[in-house]
Structures are given as structure tokens and as C-alpha cells.
Amino acid sequence: MSEPASSRPFSRLAPQHTTWPHQLSHQPTLRVGDVLAALRVEFPSLSTSKLRFLDAQGLVAPDRAPSGYRQYSNADVERVRFVLRQQRDAYAPLGVIKERLAALDSGAAHEPLSLAATGNDSGALVSIEEAARLTDTQPEVVLTLVDEGVVRPASPGVFDRTSLALIAASARYLHAGADVRELRSLARAAQREAEAAMAAAVPLRRRDDRGCERAASVVRVEAAGALFTALLHESHSNGG
């Protein structure tokens, strides 16, 4: 869920002139089929009619080619992903989602980019400054995460793009008022769950089915993330 930008002491609050996500390209280079392909794994039931519906509701505003066909940008794809996650994970109605998007557009709220948006090419490296820009934080925060062992650089001063989602989530956690000790505890718990997921996939390795082994471990890790989120929401609701 997005948080007030005023609660983020490290955040950069320069005025934005684009819709969220501001960090990504807004060049309309993608067709509807490209959007469906990009989101198929996470949202297999996504359809052309659903994209048209989101457009009609003003949640996503793709460009139009002279022929009339919709053309999407990388930023539009991440925006669609945000809307669908809000519906699936938070059960948020369209009105609430519109309000959250408006807050993100204005810079009044913050939401880290997904791993898919920041890129998962292990060969693509980014500097500390670029990592900070893409994750909407400051280089000092990135360096703190490295010093505390939460994030590991690919080599001194540079990061693999696969680390950007962790940097973004960690920075957001710190901005929300947590301290580094709490973050380290969460990181250790996540590492234990990841190791357990890999261990659970060992029987598949014995069948030499590497693809299934990886799929099983990834599914368990994703399920653990969803469970953790649900438990937090439940604890917050009960505590309130």
C-alpha cells in the first residue's frame, strides 16, 4: 500500500510532470499483445477487454496510433500491474485505486517498482546513483543497505538490476519508520524461507527435472510473500 511522502525523510520530492511511475519510459512503443505477454505470468486471465476497461475507467491512459490502436509505454505496463495487484491482493475498489494512483501521480505517495519493471537481466548493471534514482531513494540509503548486508553489490559501486526490487522495498521500509535492525531480521527470515523452498524442491532435482525444481521453489517463495503480507494486514486489523 502507498504511504504519505511526508513520512519519507530520505525521499526526493522534486515535482513530477508525468504520471506514475515517473522513473520509467513513457514512450508508447508497446502494443496490446506486448502488454498481455509482459503480464501473462502474473495475471494469466488478463485480456484485451480488461485493458480496454482500465482505459475506459481512466486508470491507465495509453496513447492512440493514427489507426486507432492503443499503444502502451513501459510506465503504462507497470501501472496496469499496480491496478491488478490492488484488485487481487488488497481487494481495493476502483475508486480507491484511482485515489492511490492520483497520490502517486502527484508525488504525495510512494510505491516501489516491481522487479519486472526494474528489469531482471542479470547482465545489466547499474551504479549506486542509478539504483537510487530507479528506486526513488538516495545513494546514502543504498550504501546503508550495503553496509548492513541487506543488499549485495555485483561488484564495488554497481548493482545487478535484480537487486533493485530489494533496494526499493528496503528503502520504503526504512522510510516508513523502521530501523536497520528490524530490516536485518526480516532479511534473515526471508533467507531462511528461501533456503527452505530450495530444500523442498530437492526431490524434483533427483528426477533431473530442473525446470520443475525452479518453478516449485519460486512458487513457494511467492506464496510466502503473499502469506506474509496477509498476516501483516490481519495483525494490523486486529490490533486496530
Q: What is the mean pLDDT of each run of 10 residues along the chain (240 residues)?
A: 44 55 88 92 93 96 92 94 94 95 90 69 73 87 90 85 84 84 82 69 51 54 61 58
| pLDDT for res 165 | 81
3-state secondary structure of 127: strand
Contact between residue 75 and residue 24 where contact means Cβ atoms under 8 Å apart: yes
CA distances from 93 to 78, 97, 130, 135 (A): 19, 6, 35, 27
pTM for the predicted model, two decimal places: 0.52
| pLDDT for res 15 | 39
DSSP label of 170: H
Count Cβ atoms within 10 A of the Cβ of residue 97 and give its class: 0-12 exposed, 13-18 middle, 19 or more buried: buried
For 72-129, strand residue ranges (E) read 109-110, 125-127
